[in-house]
Amino acid sequence: MVSEDLVVSVCLVLVAASATVAVAVREPVRQALVLAVLGLALAALFTVLQAPDVALSQLAVGSVLTPLLILLSVRKVRRRGHPTGDEAQR
């Protein structure tokens, strides 16, 4: 089962890499996009680990719902003044 191991390893590395990038990206809007990528990578990993139920819910929650809520919150927080802080973030 060498090929199976290889696919699992590639997915694991992808997940670890996108998680690291998601933390390293300090700007919340970009982070939301990276989190969506992380959600996709996790869904791929779960599919390879033979967990289609979890992959489906991760796809729906991790790469759609969470980034959407983060984007909406950022929009609200930005709109509420404190422009200096926002400039510093960029």
Partner 1 sequence: MTHLFPYLIAGWIFLVGCYGLATSRHLVHAVGCLAVCQSATYVLLLAVGYREGGTAPVHSDLAPHSRPLVDPVVQALTLTDVVVGATVTALLLALVIQVAKRHGTVDPDELSELRG
Partner 2 sequence: MTIRMRRWVMGTGAIGLAALFVAAFMRLPRFGGDRHPYGDRATDAALTRHTANVVSSINFDLRAFDTLGEESILFAAVLGTVVLLRQTREEDRVPPRSAAVDPWVRRYALAALPVALVVGLYVVAHGQLSPGGGFQGGVIVATAVHLLYIGVDYRALERIRPVALYEVGDAVGEAAYLLVGAAALIGGSAFLANTLLPYGTFNTLTSGGVVPLLNLAVGIEVACAVVVLVSRFLDQAVEITDAASDAEGAGTR
CA dihedral 15, 21, 27, 33 (to 10 degrees): -40
Window of 14-22, 23-31, 33-41, 68-76 that interacts with partner 2 by CB under 8 A = 68-76
49-81 in b/e form (b: 16+ CB < 10 A) is: eeeeeebeebbeebbeeebeebeeebeeeeeee
Instruction: Tell me: does residue 38 bind partner 1 (CB under 8 A).
Output: yes
Query: What does the binding site for partner 1 look like in residue numbers (CB under 8 A)?
Result: 1, 4-6, 8-9, 12-13, 15-16, 19-20, 22-24, 26-28, 31-32, 35, 38, 42, 45-46, 49-54, 57-58, 61-62, 65-66, 69-70, 73-74, 76-77, 80-82, 85, 89
